Copies of this chain bind each other. A is one copy, B any other.
């Protein structure tokens, strides 16, 4: 019985609709190398960004912006910022782990036809934001939810996405003219893909492995 004009019946989805969501979740990969050069149309880009824009946000703050990058010149600058940071990162690993690290391809900045930098405007909605009063990170987390929506939407469209996190923040900020009060959340590489790894690439390449879910679940209180 509907009590309010804006409330509508909402039950479980059909089996095929459910399958679509779970297939996206289980087959989503962090893509670094499988990108095709085929361009992503503006209509498709809007579809993906609109999925991101319908993420949950604290106090309906919608703190995100999307900087869409297609020019080779910009990508080349971002790649150089990645390269500098990645060389620094390699030095943090020891022995065989360092050589293993250097063998991994951790970005697809220039290969992907489309890059998107996703940011969080911490000033949007004023100083006091409903739901952010006791956790100032909530706007960052809302922006991450938008990225995950975008990632899943890309997957169902046959578009791969890789999240690049290896750069020094001031470098990317300068390349993209991002003001100080704006937080950079993620730098994403997108493009159509013909094939993907069936498991996480870091597992395929023996860097790490999937943990058993049952070890991560506690009842009623922390029990680690």
Contacts and interface: CB of A to CB of B under 8 A. Distances in A.
Given A17-B20, A67-B222, A158-B11, A163 B62 contact: no
Overall SS of chain A's interface:
mixed
B46 A220 contact: no
A71 B195 CA distance: 46
A130 B56 contact: no
Stoichiometry, copies per complex: 2
Interface residues of A, number: 122
Interface of A: 2, 4, 6-14, 16-28, 30, 34, 46, 49-51, 53-56, 58-62, 64-71, 74, 85, 88-89, 92-93, 101, 104, 106, 119, 121, 125, 128, 130-135, 137-138, 140-141, 144-145, 147-149, 151-153, 155-158, 160, 163, 165-169, 175-179, 182, 185-186, 193-200, 202-204, 207-211, 213, 216-222, 224
